Amino acid sequence: MNFNIIAVGRMKSGPLKTIWDEYQKRLKWKVTIKEVVEKNNFDKNEMRKREATLLRANISQGFPLIAMDQRGKNFTSENLSNCIDDFRTNGYNQLNFLIGGSDGLDETILQSCQLCISMGLMTWPHMLVRIMLIEQIYRSQCILNNHPYHK
């Protein structure tokens, strides 16, 4: 299974990058990240629209789109692993995950997604959402392979 994470902003070296790299090493599945940056400052609505354009330009066409957004559904780790398995069973070998910037994702991009997942009702830094997502992808791999990581 392949995962294409398209995210607003650039992850710099430091603790989050170290954690990201650790999960990358553990995964048998391929996870790539494409980072997009809007260099100009605009009001929130215009910024979300411009970021949506950048995100769309990096989507692997023909594969499901999954938004990470606080307006999405709350999933358990088992729900996510079942969802990944369902996509795999239906012939998809790749999934696109979208992570917006600090102002979230534009409504138009949310409407084009097959699924919208929330990491809970709290607000999380968008860089931390990447770490939480790759950990959950790793956890899903472990669940589907009956590995003891998920107890």
Q: What CATH number is given to the structural domain containing 32?
A: 3.40.1280.10
Averaged pLDDT, 72-88: 97
Per residue in 132-145, pLDDT (tens digit) is: 999 999 999 999 99
Residue-level pLDDT at 86: 98
Residue 115: other Cβ atoms inside 10 A: 17
Residue 59: other Cβ atoms inside 10 A: 16
Cβ contact 75:44 at 8 Å: no
Q: Let me know if residue 149 belongs to a domain.
A: no
Residue-level pLDDT at 15: 96
Residue 79 has pLDDT above 80, yes or no: yes
User: For the whole model, what pTM was predicted?
Assistant: 0.94
Q: Let me know if residue 151 belongs to a domain.
A: no
Domains in the chain, number: 1
Location of structure tokens 């899903």: 140
How many residues appear in the chain? 151
Q: Let me know if residue 10 belongs to a domain.
A: yes
Q: Let me know if residue 131 belongs to a domain.
A: yes
* Cα separation, 98 vs 105, whole angstroms: 8
Location of structure tokens 């999960």: 23
Q: Let me know if residue 150 belongs to a domain.
A: no
Residue 151 has pLDDT above 90, yes or no: no
Residue 36 has pLDDT above 90, yes or no: yes
- Domain containing residue 24: 2-144
**pLDDT band per the 50, 70, 90 thresholds, residue 112:** very high
Residue-level pLDDT at 88: 97
Q: Let me know if residue 96 belongs to a domain.
A: yes
Averaged pLDDT, 54-61: 95
